[in-house]
Amino acid sequence: MHVFDETGLAWRLGEQLAAGAEGGVFRLVDRPEWCVKLYHKRPLAPERRAKLAALRALPPALRTCAALPLSLVAASARSSEWLGVLLPFVEGHDIYELYNPQGRRAHFQHATFEFVVAAALNLARAFEEVHAHGIIVGDISEQNIRVRPDATLTLIDCDGFQLNAAGQFFASNIGTPIWTPPELQGLSLTGAVRTRNHDGFGLAQLIFLLLFGGRYPFAGRPLSGEALAPEEAIAKFAFAFDPAPARPLLEPPPGAPRLQALPARFTELFLRAFRAGSEAPNARPSAKEWGEALGELRGGLVRCTAWHAHVHWEGALVCPWCGVLESAGVDLFPGPPVEQRKGGAVKGEAVSLEALAQRLFSLKLEPIHLAAPSGQTVQEALREAGVADKTWWVSLSKGLGPVGGFLLGSQRRFLAGELEAATREMASFTQRAAGLFLGYAGGLRALGQRAQQLGGELKAAASHADQAVERYLVQHRNAELGRYLEAFLLRRYEIQGVSQGRKAALLSHNIVTAADVTREALLHVPGFSEPLAERLLRWRRECERGFRHIEPRFVPGAVRVEAYEEGRRSAAKLLQQGMACEAQWNRAQAAYAREHGGLQNQYRATCTRRAVLEAKLRGLQ
């Protein structure tokens, strides 16, 4: 099929790239860097034609961040009945594939948190550029932004923009409830006049999703009453991560990073974007403010000491991604596949599975004993105090008769009292040191058990590397089924009772594909009743019907390679978990050593003071 642009040039349509409610998108055979969107309703209505023409006439500077129309297209060179629009083809993937863990592993394997921050910064700059030209994005969603492998991005579906051109107002008549700000929830968007402040809500949500690993800001665990759908939470300004909400309705879902993982400025920006009062004109952060904050964050990132693929803000007390891994068992940033050498060593890492296993087995918190000050320290203290075997007190008391004897006795009693108090204080240090050790030992008990478990798994992985094929055969069906089900993204299917808001809640609990849908996983999602959970499980079973598994009679070379890769990925994950466990233990052990060091200094000072008191008392005998 051919279409013709406004100059009469013919373009041959190739493969269909996408299909939506408004129309389909086709690649051009002769110009693959362009594509054509053909609308279902054609010829185009006058208002749509006028809007597309206005978008086409926008300044070229906007084309660096938005896929603006190039020309209208018709079925013939002389026809004025326009069918669609010629557009630049935008490489990359929907921004959804970057902020959700499964999509990131599939399409952005090398992406660290630094990459995500760079993409968020480019997003803020794109919105800033659009707003600078008086345009409102309006229809904000995860499907309207394409991210490329270098973290640059482009806004697509620009026919949803709101703009004024040649005295004519073109509205953004569509929107999705979970991307619609509270003040517009439940209202008709047809003809509505939207503002930058409205855009600020959707922009803040996208930035939050990027920085918090796909956790939706309005999906969390209910604190009172029934579970809130995300749309209801938005309408109530129920930001799940608000540290001090006016009405406590939601708290963050399990395993989610906290706002403290980012600089304090981000807490202020997110609260301005999501709290009640954000609906006031210009109350929400502007795209420029987000760009400044993200630029500062990008310059203050460091690598985690436990796992090289974890990058986080340098001011965070602990690595937030290690925290998510430990609490939820989900590695949001696993890093690219790691090559395993023979013998268990991992390329690029100076540690082997066997060596790490031994270190984990040896993790043990030993009590640090209090040490008395050295003899030299005591002698220096005695010299500084001017202590001698006999003091001037003895000579003076003999010359003063009874009065001198009274004074000498009084001084002896004072020194004896001080000596007794110092002796009691020394005894208390032993109890304090024991209490300090027992407190840390109790706190590390669970971590120690985890270290022993991981040590065993690491040792098994290192010593049974040659059995990867056998393990593969046992797990072959489940692995194949899991990979098959991962192709069924929840957001692409209509399931009765599962709105987009509920899908956002599922994403916040790491339920993204049919492979993630299990009864146990659904039990942890607030608001998912038994009938609703059963619908999702039924949908998974329907997805499974197309799966066909043939047990191999022998293991071909390709399967052996795949089995080796599976073992390699498992070993890399164990290595990461073991190193994170070791790092957490070392941090606790260092904290114990610091606290004990302070106690040790106090103990030595008391010992030295007691020695001086004893020497002074001997001098008065």
Give the distance between the most distant pair of CA atoms in the chain. 133
Query: 3-class SS at 452?
Result: helix
Query: Does 517 score more than 50 pLDDT?
Result: yes
The DSSP output letter for 370 is P
* Calpha distance 166→172 (Å, rounded): 17
> What confidence score (pLDDT) does residue 620 get?
62
Highest mean pLDDT among 308-322, 355-369, 541-555, 573-587: 308-322
The whole-number pLDDT of residue 345 equals 36
The share of the chain scoring above pLDDT 70, in percent, equals 87
Return the higher-pLDDT residue of 161 and 572: 161
Residue 455: pLDDT over 90: no
Sorted by where each begins, the domain ranges of the chain are: 1-89, 91-336, 343-511+546-621
* pLDDT attached to residue 335: 74
Q: Which one of 258-267, 324-333, 355-364, 448-457 scores highest in mean pLDDT?
A: 258-267
Report the distance separating Cα 429 and Cα 561, nearest Å. Answer: 61
C-alpha to C-alpha distances, 307 to 126, 310, 574, nearest whole angstrom? 32, 6, 11
Which of 179, 175, 368, 152 has the alpha carbon at shortest distance from 273?
A: 179
Say yes or no: domain 1-89 is CATH 3.30.200.20: yes
Annotate 153-187 with DSSP letters as a single string: EEE--GGG-BEEETTEEE------GGGS-GGGTTS
Q: What is the pTM of this model?
A: 0.65
pLDDT for position 553: 52
Confidence category of residue 341, pLDDT binned at 50, 70, 90: very low
CB 252 within 8 A of CB 241: yes
AA letter at 261: A
Give CA–CA dist 73/64, Å, rounded: 23
Average pLDDT of span 604-609: 86
* Cα 277–chain centre separation: 27
Query: Residue 618 corresponds to which amino acid?
Result: R
**Mean per-residue pLDDT for 473-490?**
81
Distance CA 542, CA 547 (A): 10
Range list of β-strands (E), 120-253: 145-147, 153-155, 163-165, 168-170, 221-222, 250-251
575-596 pLDDT, tens digit per residue, is 778 888 888 888 888 888 888 8
Which stretch of DSSP H or E encloses residue 376? helix 375-385
SS3 494: coil
Sign of CA pseudo-dihedral 331, 337, 342, 345: negative
Domain 91-336's class? mainly alpha
In this predicted model, what pLDDT tens digit does every residue of 109-140 receive, in sequence order?
889 999 999 999 999 999 999 999 999 999 99
Residue-averaged pLDDT of the chain: 85
User: Which residues share a beta bridge with 37?
Assistant: 25, 85
Higher pLDDT, 531 or 395: 531
* Residue 55 clears pLDDT 50, i.e. is over it: yes
pLDDT digits (tens, 9 = 90+) for 378-421: 788 777 776 654 454 455 455 555 655 555 677 677 778 888 88
* Closest C-alpha to 450, from 577, 324, 569, 352: 577
Helix/strand/coil for 286:
coil
Q: How far apart are CA 228 and CA 243, in angstroms?
A: 18
